[in-house]
Amino acid sequence: MDTLDKKVNEHYGGKVVRKDLTKLVKGNAVVPTYVLEYLLGQYCATDDEETINAGVESVKKIIAEHFVHRDEAQYIKSVIKEKGSHRIIDKVSVKLNDRRGLYEAAFANLGVKKVIVDPDIVKRHKKLLSSGVWCIVTLGYIVPEEKEQSPWILESIKPIQVAQIDIEEFKEARKLFKTDEWLDLLMRSIGLNPEHFNKRSKFIQLTRLVPFAENNYNLIELGPKGTGKSHIYSEMSPHGILISGGEVTKAKLFVNNSTGDIGLVGYWDVVAYDEFAGTTKKVDKGLVDIMKNYMANKSFSRGTEVYGADASMAFVGNTLHSVAFMLKHSDLFEALPDVYHDSAFLDRIQCYLPGWEVNKLRTEMFTNNYGFIVDYLAEILKHLRKEDYTNIYKEYFELSDTLTSRDRDSIAKTVSGLIKVIYPDGQYDENQLKELFDFAIENRKRVKQELIKMDETFEPVDFSYNINSSGKKVIINTLEYLNYLPEQIDKSEEDLVDTEEKEEPKNTKKKLPDYSQKIIHDNQTGISYYKLFADYLKGATEITLTDPFIRLPYQMRNFMEFCRLVADVKEKGEMVKLHLVTNNNEEYLENAKESFKQIQESLESMEIYFTYEFDDSIHDRFIETNNGWKIILGRGLDLFQKTDGPFDLAEIYQEKRLCRHTQITYLAK
């Protein structure tokens, strides 16, 4: 166990489980994660290794003896008949037989239907009336006296969900975790290893939880295959249901006019549409009209009667082309069926997550550490749906007057949901709220800027805001426009200063401002040392780089790429002195000295005289030159994320690498 594992077990004992155990017990059972972790929570919610091992064996035995595999249905029926009754784990749905005036259950895997259900059970567990709920059931068998009578007897039924939670206890314990610790705990809780995700990538993953915490929240995520877009909606909560986008009908979703049965939105907190994209899919235009009304007004009608519901909607699907292609030739909604290319429908989407920023999930990206039992987390999020944080941002920020009420509401609901997920205790400062606010604005802007391209009746709006405490104006841009269409982004006064160029006579040195800043965002691409530093290094004959972290192989690679830049921009015939001030651990010291010696020899032929020193007191990172510049480096040279290995083009092509969030300041000395 690492430090976070120990802390989690100390403050959330009994509510967390080691995530690798799910794989150990699953076997070939086609069962959601929350069902398995419900069982693991009964036997393995501890850090005691012996108890865990015994618990895993108990859960394996339960799955082997009680989980119903479809291909073993006849055997299980035989066991029930011979024993008289038997406990099983299966997905159960209930329908009203209005001719007989009885409720009847159907078992998805066992294949048994028309099992009579006590009305009191239906009243206690209304979700049974929808598409089905995973349950632990004791099913009996009695030879029927009448021919039409079912032999199957429902002796007991328990939907798989946490019986009780203490929300105040949960919030109090949250106060003991730093934000980074909490983000890592949540990532582990949904099964992912946080070490493979930067902060922005964590926000993208965790925003998938917002529909479970926020009523009537509409989210879309389109991106490549294999990034886990639908996983959360099918596996992580008994309060969400994942349906195929091609199977959606008015009767299934809202109300069946012939029977009067309420559809999925009446029973589930989240209705997610898998494989929502697909330009050839046929969709009922009438369904889209009802969805538009529901997404806007939280209601739907059957004849003259109007029903209300608070189910959130999540739409996930695969893109057809790269982001660069979509921005140039179509729009970011291009993969949707034509009938969903309805600007009124799309305008009701409050958050468009950039699925193209999510890496395809690889084995090492899953965690073996402790995280919340997902069923426990699901109950917490369900409880938090009762709370409202949509007006919180107004205390700190004032949105532009040009934004529509739908824009404002969308941003507010995303912020509210993210607060519930990340700061459920309400303990956050202005900067932490600003992170969520910026992210929420960007994901709403992604919807709006595509609508403006698609429909000329949508007027451009200013996605900016003022910080109340300082009066500073902040302009938000979507990352894909920063990466691929920088000429079209909305620029702040600071950005304009940074890019301002005065007209100079030809063959003269480019005029650079005495002070400017460059903000680089998580996952931004198109960045290189040449673009960042070349203009400032030209003409310099003495360059000092101070960076305490030049030791690991990828950091050495970064430094070699910086050396190449110096070689590229220096004037022919001039000698350049390049001095590195760094730090090192004892275990890396000898290797570093050997590497620097090779670098010295390599650079000498290019008329670059390289020297270095180790200083264990340094912390700041910067470049100083004798042509009058000091460049303050937020992260030093280490501004790129890890690549996918030697066959990833980004390994040799800096502009293709994903960046880490940092800030670079240029000062004329």
For residues 608, 614, 618, 619, the Cα torsion angle rounded to the nearest 10 degrees is 80
C-beta separation of 458 from 448 below 8 A: yes
Helix (H) or strand (E) holding 663: strand 662-668
Q: Model confidence over 518-572: pLDDT tens digits? A: 999 999 999 999 999 999 999 999 999 999 999 998 999 999 999 999 999 998 8
Compute and round to an integer the Cα radius of gyration of the chain.
29
**Cα 320 to chain center, whole Å?**
21
CATH placement of domain 491-668: 3.30.870.30
The 3-class SS string of 215-270 reads: CCCEEEEEECCCCCCCHHHHHCCCCEEEEEHHHCCHHHHCECCCCCCECHHHCCCE
Do the domains 491-668 and 179-379 match in fold? no
Q: What distance in Å separates the CA atoms of residue 669 and residue 14, rounded to the nearest whole number? A: 59
Q: Which pLDDT does position 303 carry in this prediction?
A: 66
Q: Which pLDDT does position 156 carry in this prediction?
A: 92
**Cα 572 to chain center, whole Å?**
49
Residues 597-600: contacts with CB within 8 Å, 24+ apart? 599/559, 599/560, 599/563
| pLDDT exceeds 60 at position 482 | yes
| pLDDT exceeds 80 at position 496 | no
Closest CA to 562 of 544, 548, 539: 544
Q: Model confidence over 166-212: pLDDT tens digits? A: 999 999 999 999 999 999 999 999 999 999 999 999 999 999 999 99
Give the range among 1-10, 25-34, 338-347 with minimum mean pLDDT.
25-34
| pLDDT exceeds 50 at position 282 | yes
For residues 591, 593, 597, 602, the Cα torsion angle rounded to the nearest 10 degrees is 60
Which pair of structure tokens corresponds to residue 465?
């805001």
Q: What distance in Å separates the CA atoms of residue 267 and residue 92, rounded to the nearest whole number? A: 14
Closest CA to 239 of 199, 267, 276, 216: 267
Q: Which pLDDT does position 450 carry in this prediction?
A: 95
Give the range among 77-86, 384-393, 507-516, 573-582 with minimum mean pLDDT.
507-516
Q: Model confidence over 375-408: pLDDT tens digits? A: 899 999 999 999 999 999 999 999 999 999 999 9
At residue 362 the predicted structure's pLDDT band, cuts being 50, 70 and 90, is confident
At residue 507 the predicted structure's pLDDT band, cuts being 50, 70 and 90, is very low
Stretch 654-668: mean pLDDT: 94
Q: Model confidence over 400-419: pLDDT tens digits? A: 999 999 999 999 999 999 99
Q: Which pLDDT does position 589 carry in this prediction?
A: 87
Q: What distance in Å separates the CA atoms of residue 509 and residue 148, rounded to the nearest whole number? A: 95
For residues 166, 168, 173, 174, the Cα torsion angle rounded to the nearest 10 degrees is 110
Q: What distance in Å separates the CA atoms of residue 130 and residue 261, rounded to the nearest whole number? A: 9
Tokens 């990206």 locate to 365
The CATH H-level superfamily of 179-379 is P-loop containing nucleotide triphosphate hydrolases (3.40.50.300)
Q: What distance in Å separates the CA atoms of residue 301 and residue 279, rounded to the nearest whole number? A: 29
Q: Which range has the top average pLDDT, 14-28, 424-438, 598-612?
A: 424-438
Share of the chain above pLDDT 90, in %: 68
| pLDDT exceeds 90 at position 500 | no
Per the model's pLDDT, the better-predicted residue between 625 and 509 turns out to be 625
Per the model's pLDDT, the better-predicted residue between 276 and 305 turns out to be 276
Q: Which pLDDT does position 418 carry in this prediction?
A: 98
Closest CA to 452 of 405, 407, 400, 401: 407
Helix (H) or strand (E) holding 200: helix 199-207
Which one-letter amino acid corresponds to residue 210? V
Task: Compute the C-alpha angle 296/442/475, nearest 5°.
Answer: 120
Q: Model confidence over 631-648: pLDDT tens digits? A: 999 999 999 998 888 888
Query: Structure pTM?
Result: 0.83
C-beta separation of 300 from 254 below 8 A: yes
Per DSSP (E only), the strands in 284-399 are 299-302, 305-308, 312-318, 351-354, 370-372, 397-399
Main-chain phi, psi angles of 42, to 5 degrees: -75, -30
Mean pLDDT of the chain: 90
| pLDDT exceeds 70 at position 489 | yes
Q: What distance in Å separates the CA atoms of residue 345 and residue 8, rounded to the nearest whole number? A: 42
Q: Which pLDDT does position 125 carry in this prediction?
A: 87
- Give the number of other CB atoms < 10 A from CB of residue 398: 14
| Sheet order of strands, 115-117 included | 115-117, 102-107, 85-97, 133-141, 152-159
At residue 506 the predicted structure's pLDDT band, cuts being 50, 70 and 90, is very low
- The total number of residues written for the chain in this structure: 669
**Cα 646 to chain center, whole Å?**
27
Q: Model confidence over 211-270: pLDDT tens digits? A: 999 999 999 999 999 899 999 998 888 899 999 876 678 888 888 777 777 888 988 999
Q: What distance in Å separates the CA atoms of residue 15 and residue 44, rounded to the nearest whole number? A: 10
At residue 304 the predicted structure's pLDDT band, cuts being 50, 70 and 90, is low
Which pair of structure tokens corresponds to residue 583?
């730090």
Q: What distance in Å separates the CA atoms of residue 528 and residue 513, rounded to the nearest whole number? A: 20
| pLDDT exceeds 90 at position 27 | no
Stretch 587-597: mean pLDDT: 89
C-beta separation of 198 from 661 below 8 A: yes
Q: Which pLDDT does position 163 carry in this prediction?
A: 62
Give the range among 40-49, 287-296, 363-372, 609-618 with minimum mean pLDDT.
40-49
Fold type of domain 70-159: OB fold (Dihydrolipoamide Acetyltransferase, E2P) (2.40.50)
β-partners of residue 157 are: 137
Domain boundaries of the chain, sorted by first residue: 70-159, 179-379, 387-484, 491-668
Stretch 487-511: mean pLDDT: 55
Question: What SS3 state is found at 562?
Answer: helix
Q: Which pLDDT does position 10 carry in this prediction?
A: 94
Closest CA to 238 of 22, 45, 424, 36: 36
C-beta separation of 29 from 69 below 8 A: yes
